[in-house]
Structure 1
Amino acid sequence: MEGSISNLPSTRIAVVTGGNKGIGLEVCRQLAGNGVTVVLTARDETRGEAALEKLRGLGLSNVIFHHLEITDAPSIARLADFLKTRFGKLDILVNNAGVVGLEYLHDHIDGTSTTSEKFGGMDTYERIELLLKWCFRETCDAGKACLRTNYHGTKQVIGALLPLLLASDDGRIVNLSSELGQLRLFGNEALRRELDDLEALSEARVDEVVAAFVRDLEAGAAADAARGWPAGAMSAYTVSKAALNAYSRVLARRHPSLRVNCVHPGFVRTDMTVNFGLLTPEEGASRVVAVALLPAGGPTGAYFQDRQQAPFV
C-alpha cells in the first residue's frame, strides 16, 4: 500500500527493513511519531499490511508499506525505483531485518514467563545460555542463511539505496548490531586486529573473511579453536554482526557526508529471542531511533550500546 502521503521537500524520509514486528515495528512507530515519513518494509506482504494498519490505527498517517526481501535483488531494485520516483531521496535507512542463524527446536521454553521467579534473576548472558541449551541449535544451513541475510542482504540494500541517501542533505544509515558482534569474541588475535584497523580495512577484505567462515562452516571446521572463529552456538550470528560493523566503518570512511552507525538495541523480547529478552521492543527501538535522529554533524562510523558510544572490540 503506497498511501497518499504528499512528497514535501522538507519531510524526512526513512526506510525500515523488517518493520512488521518487534523492534522494527517500534522503530517505525517512533520515527513516525517524530514527524518522519516512514516506509515500513517487510518480506511478508500480509504481515506488512497488517503492521501498517496497526500504525494507522494509532493515528500515524505518515507511514507507507512497501514489500522488501533483502536477499532478493529484484525486490530491492523495486524499492529503490519506488523511492526515487516518489521522493527522489532517502534521509534515514534503518537496517533492522535479520535472522539469528539458528534452528528453532519445537520443544522450547515460553519466554512470556520471564517475570516468574525462575527466570527473573537471570542476566542477559545467563538467559542466552539457557536459550541456546533449550531452544536452538546451530546448523550449517541456518548459519549460511544468517550471513546471507545479516551481512550480504544488508549490503545489497545499502548499495541500491546509497544514491538516494547521498541525494539527502543529511543522509543516515543505522545498522542494527549486537554486543555479540564485538571483536573480543574472536579467538584469532591477528584477525581481531585486522578487522579493527580502520586505515587498512577494505570491503573486499571483509567479504573474504565472511567467505572463509562460510567455507569452514560447510567443512564442519568453524568450531575448531585453531581457526579462531567465535566459539559457541552463535558463531554465524557473531561473524555476521562483526562483519557488518566492519563494513559500516569502511562505508563511513568512504562517504564522509553520510552518518553511518551501528547500534546494539539490547536483549529485547521479540520472536527472535522467544520473548526471553530483558527489554521491551519499545525500549530497544528507542535506542535505535536515538541514533537515527542524532543532531546533524554527529558521529559516524561509531557503535552505540546502552545509548553511549562504545568500542567495536
Structure 2
Amino acid sequence: MDSVLITGANRSIGLETAKQLSEKGLFVYLGSRDLQKGEEVVKELTQNGFQNIKAIQIDVTNAQSVLEAKNLIENEHGKLDILINNAGILGDVPQDSSTTPVENIQNVFDTNFFGVIRVTQTFLELLKKSKNPRISNITSGLGSLTLHSDPAWKYYAIKAVSYVSSKTALNAFTVTLAYELKDLGFKVNAIDPGYTATDFNHHSGPGSVESASSFIIKHTLTDENGPTGKFFSNDIEDESEESPW
C-alpha cells in the first residue's frame, strides 16, 4: 500500500485531501502540529468509515519534530511514496512592503518556504525508496510574478508581501528540486488549489475544499510519463491548467 504524508492536514484542504486519498486506498499520515488535534480528527474520520489514516505530529518549523516524524514513518513503512507539503500560514495583515516588519516576513517564510525545504530534505531518503516518488508543493496563484505584473489579473491588487514572496520562493524551490531529481523517477510540482473557502481566508474564496483537494490529487497521482517542474492552478481557465511563473 502506497503511503502519503500531508503536512497541515488536520483541517481545510489538507484534511479533505487526506479523506480523498484514503478513499483511493492509500495509507495517509495526517500531519498536525498539535498531535491531540490530529488524533481527534482521525478518531472522527474512523467513526465515519475512513480507513488507513494515522495522525502524526509534525511541526515544519522544528527540525527535531520533522526528524521524529520521518523516523516513525520509516519504522512503520520503510519508505514514503508521496509528500504533500500543504502546511502554510498567511501571517499578520496588512502586509505592505514598505512597513511590514522583517520579523513578520521571516515568520511566514519559516513555515511556507523553509518549512517545506526542511521537510523535503529530511524525507528524501524515504522517498527515494519508492518506485514512484511524488512531491507536491501546495502554492498559490499569488506566487506568480507574471500574473502580479498584469493589471488585468483579477487578483492584481492583492500584494501581501509576506505571503506572496514566500509562495514565489516556494515556486523557485520547486523548479530547482524538480530539475535535480528528474532522472530519479520523481515528479515534483507546484500546485495551486485555487482561491478556496477555508478558515485561512475567513471562507471568502469561491472554491470548495472538495474541488481544491481533487485538483491537488489529480496533479499528484500521475503516471511515469507525468510532468515535473510545473506550476498548476485550479484558477487557470485553460485546458493545460498551467499557471505562468
Q: Say whether the fold is shared (TM-score over 0.5).
A: yes
Aligned to 1:168: 130
Is 2:70 the counterpart of 1:80?
yes
* TM-score, with length taken from structure 1: 0.69
Aligned to 1:178: 140
Alignment of 1:103-252 (within 5 A): 103=93, 139-184=101-146, 233-252=159-178
Aligned to 1:127: none
* Counterparts of 1:90 and 1:297, CA distance in 2: 20
User: Which string of whole-angstrom CA distances, capped at 9 and with x for unpartnered residues, describes residues 39-98 of structure 1?
Assistant: 001001221111111221221121011100000000000011111111111111011000
Q: Which moved more, 1:178-187 or 1:52-61?
A: 178-187
> How much has 1:312 moved relative to structure 2?
3.5
Is 2:16 the counterpart of 1:16?
no
Structure 2 counterpart of 1:269, one-letter code = A
Structure 1 counterpart of 2:77, one-letter code = F
* Counterparts of 2:8 and 2:81, CA distance in 1: 18
Aligned to 1:56: 46
* Counterparts of 1:267 and 1:45, CA distance in 2: 28
Q: Can you give the 5+ residue segments of structure 2 that lack an aligned partner in the other structure?
A: 150-155
* Counterparts of 1:31 and 1:286, CA distance in 2: 9
Aligned to 2:217: 289
Structure 1 counterpart of 2:114, one-letter code = H
Question: Secondary structure of 1:99's match?
Answer: coil
> How much has 1:102 moved relative to structure 2?
2.4
Question: Secondary structure of 2:206's match?
Answer: coil
* Counterparts of 1:138 and 1:278, CA distance in 2: 28
Preserved CA contact (<8 Å) 1:103 1:142:
no
* Counterparts of 1:232 and 1:174, CA distance in 2: 24
Q: Can you give the 5+ residue segments of structure 1 that lack an aligned partner in the other structure?
A: 1-10, 105-131, 188-229
Question: Secondary structure of 1:156's match?
Answer: helix
> How much has 1:139 moved relative to structure 2?
4.9
Structure 1 counterpart of 2:70, one-letter code = A
* Counterparts of 2:214 and 2:103, CA distance in 1: 33
> How much has 1:233 moved relative to structure 2?
4.7
* Counterparts of 2:107 and 2:134, CA distance in 1: 27
> How much has 1:143 moved relative to structure 2?
2.1
Is 2:180 the counterpart of 1:254?
yes
> How much has 1:232 moved relative to structure 2?
5.7
* Counterparts of 1:38 and 1:139, CA distance in 2: 38
> How much has 1:275 moved relative to structure 2?
1.1
* TM-score, with length taken from structure 2: 0.88
Higher-Rg structure is 1
Classify 1:49/1:265 alpha carbon distance in 2 versus 1 (closer, same or farther; 3 Å).
same
Preserved CA contact (<8 Å) 1:95 1:174:
yes
> How much has 1:186 moved relative to structure 2?
6.5
2:85 to 95, 99, 104: 95
Structure 2 counterpart of 1:172, one-letter code = R
* Counterparts of 2:90 and 2:19, CA distance in 1: 24
Structure 1 counterpart of 2:119, one-letter code = V
User: Which string of whole-angstrom CA distances, capped at 9 and with x for unpartnered residues, describes residues 116-161 of structure 1?
Assistant: xxxxxxxxxxxxxxxx8xxxx9554432211111000110000000
Q: Number of matched residues?
A: 231
Structure 1 counterpart of 2:145, one-letter code = L
User: Which string of whole-angstrom CA distances, capped at 9 and with x for unpartnered residues, describes residues 99-128 of structure 1?
Assistant: 012248xxxxxxxxxxxxxxxxxxxxxxxx
Q: CA RMSD in A?
A: 2.2
1:274 to 202, 227, 237: 202
* Counterparts of 1:183 and 1:246, CA distance in 2: 11
Aligned to 1:124: none
> What is the aligned-residue identity percentage?
32
